[in-house]
Structure 1
Amino acid sequence: MRPVDTPRATAALWEITTPGHPGRIGGVAMAGFRARATGPLDLAVVPYPAVTVAVDLGDGPLAVGDAGGERETGSVVIGLAPHGLRGRGRDIECLQIRLSPMVAHAVLGPAADLGGRIVRLDDLWGRDAARTQERLRAAGSWADRFALAEAELARRHRDGPAVDPEVAFVWRQLVTHRGDVRIERLAAEAGWSRKRLWSRFRSQTGLTPKHAARLVRFDHAAHRLAAGHRPALVAAEAGYADQSHLHREVVAFAGATPTAVAAAPWLTVDDEAWASPGYLRTV
């Protein structure tokens, strides 16, 4: 989730806390968010190449909804590449966890097949979700919260199902090449047919390899735009056919033009919270 300033959210004061050391599990990143505002917050959420877990720790319920009208409150899991997602609430406080789809398959199970859907965490973890949330609420510091969350993730990662090595290989290649790589080549290098790769990758991540490549490439392009690089240069560097192609992809994923994305306040918050994007580390 990337908090975006809107007319009702400009008065918010965000406090962002990150772990003081790298986590034990590759493909995982965490950050704590606390906001205080004079009124309700309305936060646009744009896609990442990660599955997002938002554990609600605030006094008022956090609500997350999408463009299709699906809406959940409390602690939620957001699959890859959501569309038109928004988070709403008052005095928001939450622990946000980003998981590589390789890790999400083990620790969340069915959530790896979400696509861009939203589900409640307790639909996936049952009573463990409420117990984990209460322990996080009772923790004396964000450091304690990070340690508790990491321990729960480590347990589930150890006991959960692993993705196919071929699927993990293709994901690593997509991340390494920032999405600018031919899927047919990756299928051949993995020793699978294109049809088999399409089927297995989608069943274990929720996206086709091509859509996953687009998502990874978009994420790279969004950060380049925010760093002040011209759209034409970003298009060329990121492997888009031309600037019009970049424009279409940014609008498709972010619902905004490249110019608007370059000026979006949420990328400043994003860089502070996820300066070291552990969810993109290969696993």
Structure 2
Amino acid sequence: MNQIFLFSLLLLASIFSSTTLAQSPAAAPKAPEKPAPTKPAPAKPTPSTPAPAPAKPLVPALPQSPTTNPDASGNQDIIKILRKAKSFNTLIRLLKTTQIINQVNAQLVTTKNGGLTIPAPDDGAFSELKAGYFNSLGERQQKELIQYHVLPEYVSSSNFDSLSNPVLTLASDSPQGFQINVTAYGNSVNISTGVVDTTITGIVYADKTLAIYHVNKVLIPLDFIKPKAKAPAPAIAKAPKAEKENSSADDDDQTQAHKDSSDAISLNNMHGISVLVSIGVSLLAAGVTTML
């Protein structure tokens, strides 16, 4: 009996444990889901001030012309630049014969901040001059003609419209002499001297202190054409004239006095002769009477 009761308890226990094991465990409560982090709205780009567009050149670059310094040492050799650009042989020769090249080189060295600008006529421009024109000029005018093609300041290809007319040249010995007028419009730069009008056709060379531009005419200064003011004629001194007149009058008076004196002497002489004749006649008459 006890064994049957024990067996029943074991059977019930096994049945209970198997039932418990068959049941699925209760699902653990889910943790509340965290809300997805909201992404910050993309910041709107702050409008930046647009960079100024580079100034458009008023003068086009020539295809065959150097755009950088051809001398690796950094020295600006104007003769070498013109020779490399070709077709400037006449200008090279005149720069040398007038020795203006020395003045230009010296000025370029001493005015690094200001620089120089050279409107350079090509060989064709010089050939259009009247035959023998340059040789017909005096030595001073020959130098002035070459100096007239040099501006004592650097003008970039996009900065011609900032010039104030009239523009001084290296030949300007005063604010009124040897000047040019520069007019920039569109993509054209015109130079006028009052005698010649020409246009810059391209860049021969340009850096930060030296610019050489090609022009198709020789710049003839108006100062070579207009007559120079004549010096006023000195006023005629009246005093010497009056003295001359007085001198002439004195001479006339002296001449008249001499004439009067001569006449008086002549009259006196005649009177003396008459007296002598009268005395002689009287003596003769008295002698005749005595004899009778």
The TM-score by the shorter chain falls in which range? under 0.3
More relative contact order in 1 or in 2 (CA 8 Å, sep 6+)? 1
Provide the TM-score with structure 1 as the length reference: 0.23
The normalised TM-score by structure 2 is 0.22
Q: Larger Rg: 1 or 2?
A: 2
